[in-house]
Chains A and B, each alone.
Chain A
Amino acid sequence: MIFADNVDQPPLLRRPIVFIPALALLFLALLRADPANWPLLRGVLAAAGLGGVLGNGLAAAAVCVLVGANAYVLLRLPVRWQVAMVWVELTLALAALFVSFDLSYAFIRRKLWILVSIGLVNTLLISAVSIVLAFILAMAGAVAKLSQNGVALGVANFYTSLFRGVPLLMQIYIIYLGLPQIGVVVDAIPAGVAALSLCYGAYMTEIFRGGIESIPRGQWEAARALGLSPGQTLRQVILPQAMGVIIPPTGNQFIAMLKDSSLVSVVGVWELMYLARTQGQSEFRHIEMMLTASMIYWIFSILLELGQARIERFFGRAHAR
C-alpha cells in the first residue's frame, strides 16, 4: 500500500463532481438501452402498467438508485469488507455475462475431466519445468552480465537481445520446425519447454541483474573482507537479499508464463488451450470450452499470486523494522 498520510482524502466516489456526472451518464445510457435486457425489471413495470418511454425512464432511474445505494453502502464499510464486496459483485457480474451466453453446462461437465486430466496436467507440467529452467538461465545470465568476462557478457547480451526481441510464437516454431533442418529433432513438449524457458529466462535475466545490483557495495566488501569466495558471497550474502527485489516481478513472469504456455498448442501439444479448441470443435461448443479453460487459467494464476505473496513475506522479514 502507498505510505498513508494522516489526512482523510474524500474517496473519489464521494465527490459530487464525480458521482453526479457518473450517475447522469449511467441514466442516459440506460435510457437508450433496450429494456428487454432487464426482463425482471420490465416484468415488474409491465405489471404496474408502466410501458414505453415512461417505463424506460423509471427502469433506468431504478437501476441508478440501486447503483447509487450500492456505492453508498460500499463507501461506509471497513476496507477488508470493501475489498470482499467488490470481489463478490464483480464476480457476480462476470457470471451474469457468462449466463447470458446460454452455455451448455452438460457439455462442460462432460468435457471437464479431459481438460483437467490431460490439458491442465500438461500445462502445469510445461510451466513448472519451464519456470525452473528459466530461473537457472536467468541466474546464469545475470551473473554473466555482471561479470568482467567479455565472452560471458557477449553471450548473455546476445541471448537476452535475441529471445526478448523475437516473438515467442516464432521461437516455438523455430525450435520445433527449424532444428530438424540441422538434424536435431525435438518432440513437441520439449520444444515448447525449451522456447518458454529461453524466452522467460531472457526477461528474468534483467530482473535478476537489477536485483543483484540493488544490494549495496558494502555487503560485497564485508563478505570479501571476511574472506568469503566470490561464489560464497553471491550465494550466502547477495542473492538472499536480492530475492526480496527479484521475487515480485518474477512472480509476474510466472503468471504470464502459465498463460503463454498456451502458445505451445500450435505445435500440437495436448495442453489446456489445445484441448479447449479441439474438444469444442466436435459440437460447435467453442465458447464453453474457451471459458472453462480461461477459468482454469485464472484459478491457477490466483494460486500463484497467493504463493508469491507468501514468498515475498518470507524474504521481506529481514527488512522489517
Chain B
Amino acid sequence: MPGETSPAPVEIRALGKWYGAFKALDGVNLVLSRGERLVICGPSGSGKSTLIRTVNALESFQEGEIFVEGVRLTRAPETVKAIRLSVGMVFQQFNLFPHLTVLENCALPLRLVRRLPGAAAAERAMAYLEKVRIPEQAAKHPAQLSGGQQQRVAIARALAMEPKLMLFDEPTSALDPEMVKEVLDTLLALAGEGMTMAVVTHEMGFAREFADRVLFMDGGRIIEAAAPTQFFSDPQQARTRAFLRQVLRRD
C-alpha cells in the first residue's frame, strides 16, 4: 500500500476511462507486487492495452487513482517523468527510432534522460544488447533487422534505463510465427532475474509457463484473475471459458 515502507510497484484503484461515450476501463482494481509476473489477456477492445498504457501516462483516465512505486500519478510533468523513469515499456510495433543505429537507440535516452556521458551510455547500452543476445547488430539500423531482433532491441532499450518494472503491450503480435519464441524466451530470462512484469499477450502457452497470475479482461473490466494452473484448468467465469475455448483451439 502507498505510504508503507515498501510500496507496491503498481496499485490501481477504481480506474475508469471513457473514449467519448464509450467506457474503455470500468472500475479496475489491481495491485502488482514486487517481482510479480502478470499476464493480461482478453478479446480485442477489452481494455487490456489501455490499462497498461495508463500506468505510464500514455493514456489519460477520468476516474480512480494509480500509484507507481508509491507515487500517485497526476498530470504534473515532474510526477509523470518520475513514474516514466521507473516504468519500462515495450510496444507491439517496437517503435525503435529508425534514424538511429541499434546502439544509439539504446544510448540516446541514457544520455538525454539519465545524463550519462556518451562513452558510459554506449557501454551500458552495449551491456544490455549483450543481455538480449544481439550485440553484433549494434551498428545496424533497425530496418536492417528482423522483427524479432527489433523487438529484442526495444527490450534492451527499455531495460538499459534500469526501470523498476516492465510493461509489455502485445510484444509478439506484430511478429512472424518463427520469431515469437526468441522474444518470449527473452521475457522468460528476464523473469528469472526477478523483474516485475506485466505482459498483454495472446500467447496462452507462454502465459501458462511465465505468469504468476493471469488476468482476463472484457468490456473494460477485470472478469477473472487467477494463478495460471487454475485459470486454464478451472476458469470460474463463463466469459473466460468462452474466450479460452476460442484461443486454445488455435494452440
Neighbour of A225 across the interface among B58, B112, B143, CB < 8 A: B58
CB closest chain-A residue, reference B88: A225
Q: Tell me which residues across on chain B come within 8 A of A320, comparing CB atoms.
A: 141, 143
Cα distance, A218 to B87, chains bound together (Å)? 17
B56 to chain A: closest CB distance in Å?
A: 6
Cα distance, A219 to B94, chains bound together (Å)? 9
Q: Are A318 and B141 in contact (CB under 8 A)?
A: yes
Known A219-B95, A224-B57, A224-B58; further 5 A-B contacts with Cβ < 8 A: A219-B97, A225-B84, A225-B87, A232-B112, A318-B141
**Contact A221/B58 with A226-B84, A241-B99, A318-B99 known, Cβ cut-off 8 Å:** yes
Q: Tell me which residues across on chain B come within 8 A of A319, comparing CB atoms.
A: 98, 143
Q: Tell me which residues across on chain B come within 8 A of A218, comparing CB atoms.
A: 91, 93, 95
Q: Are B98 and A227 in contact (CB under 8 A)?
A: no
Q: Are B143 and A226 in contact (CB under 8 A)?
A: no
* Contact sample, A vs B, 8 pairs, CB 8 Å cutoff: A216-B93, A218-B95, A221-B95, A222-B96, A225-B87, A318-B141, A319-B143, A321-B144
Number of A residues, CB within 8 Å of B = 23
Cα distance, A87 to B112, chains bound together (Å)? 50
Cα distance, A237 to B113, chains bound together (Å)? 13
Q: Are B97 and A237 in contact (CB under 8 A)?
A: yes
Cα distance, A65 to B81, chains bound together (Å)? 76
Q: Are B143 and A228 in contact (CB under 8 A)?
A: no
- Does B179 belong to the interface (CB within 8 Å)? no
**Contact A226/B161 with A221-B91, A319-B143, A320-B143 known, Cβ cut-off 8 Å:** yes
Q: Are B109 and A228 in contact (CB under 8 A)?
A: yes
Cα distance, A216 to B112, chains bound together (Å)? 21
- Does A236 belong to the interface (CB within 8 Å)? yes
Q: Are B113 and A226 in contact (CB under 8 A)?
A: yes
Q: Which residues 284-299 of A have a CB within 8 angstroms of B?
A: none
Neighbour of A228 across the interface among B89, B95, B113, CB < 8 A: B113
B128 to chain A: closest CB distance in Å?
A: 13
Q: Are B81 and A227 in contact (CB under 8 A)?
A: yes
